[in-house]
Amino acid sequence: MVSVLGLMGVLGGCGGGSSDVTLKLVAADYGDSAANSSKKYWADLVERYEADHPGVTVDVSVYSWTDVDRKVKEMVDAGDPPDLAQIGAYADYAADGMLYKAGDLLSIPVQADFLSHLSTAGEVNGIQYGMPFASSTRVLFYNKELFAEAGLTPPTTWEELAANAEALKAEGVKYPYALPLGPEEAQAETMQWLLSGEGGYTDLMGTYSIDSVENVETFNWLKNELVGKGLTGPVAPGRLNRAEAFAAFAAGDVGMLNGHPSLMEMAEKKGVEYGMVPTPGADGESRSTLGVADWMMAFSKNGHRDEVGDFLDFVYSEKNVVDFSREYNLLPVTNSASRTMSASAQDKDLKPFLDQLPTSELYPVGSTSWAAVSAKIKKEIGKAVAPGGSPAGVLGGIQATATRAESAQ
């Protein structure tokens, strides 16, 4: 995601009445050019809101994903947090007691409209602080032309996926299955595979279980049946980043890979005919897929609870959620917008992802330990499938990091 720098506004109106309030919002940029910067989305939304709320000014600053989390942290560290931040994680601020509870801001119908598993992911100790703003899921993309040339049908099991990869390799396909376990987004590919092996990062109680029997079996299979047989391409998985894997798919060099909605547009621009199917599992279609959400949060320091809540009710109206989701090929975070998009021919390309959304599982973002665990996964997980690597050893090391991070909370 490439950002266009937004204009920094001046925070004002602290302690004023509703007749003279300025709300400061810092938001991430989902656009890939000046033409579709999130700055334009927010400018239109704010113009419509302020027209009906003459006493309230909403000052929006838009930053790239590279910068936005750091910008908010700098503001917080300087003792001058924004009223609202739409960024990648909320748990640290919630744990430090800096955020309003969602229930103290939103009207009951708006809070109840969030998809339930996204609301739950926004909770710390059973109280929702993080409000989901955008979401996506993963499906298996495959190159239709390469599959046709090799006489293949899309896989539903790991065994079929490996057999397809063998056939694609025999046809000279550069990356029969692209396995990006490089540091950019290894935590996503890893979780997708763990879920398809009926494991995951945590158990049913929310406790880290990274070195579980199921997870070790999954990575043993990856190491022995895909990587060890030369079915993942010329770049070692631990050095292959998601962006490079997506670019290779768009160039026609990849047979199969896990992808999210933005890959559709990349492939279409390059003329690659692709298909999408649910993630294959060990014995059939995976019962769950990876879901990812970005978050809205409201800092309590400046007050303005009523104005912030009223503005958020507007942000999460069905029209605004649908407009945002369509503009950036993302999935809606509310039930009302999901129903609208699922039933609309305009959104048929997103339907495979929408279908996966209700059963998707998110990272353990409500835990302040997740940042350290995610960083460890990005650094180490590629070693699990490398020649001579030990899946049990690598997963055990990541589990030890998770246990220490949990104890430090």
| pLDDT higher than threshold 50 for residue 261 | yes
Domains 21-136+292-359 and 139-289+369-407 share a fold: yes
**21-136+292-359 fold:** D-Maltodextrin-Binding Protein; domain 2 (3.40.190)
- Tell me, what's the pLDDT at 294? 93
| pLDDT higher than threshold 60 for residue 206 | yes
Percent of the chain with pLDDT over 70: 95
| pLDDT higher than threshold 70 for residue 322 | yes
Percent of the chain with pLDDT over 90: 80
Could you read off the pLDDT of 356-395 as tens digits, one per residue?
Answer: 888 899 999 888 899 899 999 999 999 999 999 999 999 9
- Tell me, what's the pLDDT at 19? 58
Q: What is the C-alpha to C-alpha distance for residues 89 and 293, in angstroms, rounded to an integer? A: 9
Structure tokens at 267: 């492939």
Compare 218 and 3 and report the one with higher pLDDT.
218
Compare 228 and 12 and report the one with higher pLDDT.
228
- Tell me, what's the pLDDT at 6? 34
Compare 409 and 107 and report the one with higher pLDDT.
107
Average pLDDT, the chain: 91
- Tell me, what's the pLDDT at 409? 67
Backbone torsions φ then ψ of 337, nearest 5 degrees: -70, -35
Q: Where are the domains of the chain?
A: 21-136+292-359, 139-289+369-407
Q: How confident is the model at residue 9 (pLDDT cuts 50, 70, 90)?
A: very low
In terms of CATH, what superfamily is 139-289+369-407? Answer: Periplasmic binding protein-like II (3.40.190.10)
Contact 26, 63 (CB under 8 A): yes
Could you read off the pLDDT of 107-157 as tens digits, one per residue?
Answer: 999 999 999 999 999 998 899 999 999 999 999 999 999 999 999 999 999
Q: What is the C-alpha to C-alpha distance for residues 216 and 197, in angstroms, rounded to an integer? A: 10
Hunting for tokens 């692209």 — which residue is that? Answer: 178
User: What is the per-residue DSSP string for 198-264?
Assistant: T--SB-TTS-B-TT-HHHHHHHHHIIIIIITTT-S-SS-GGG--HHHHHHHHHTT-EEEEEE-THHH
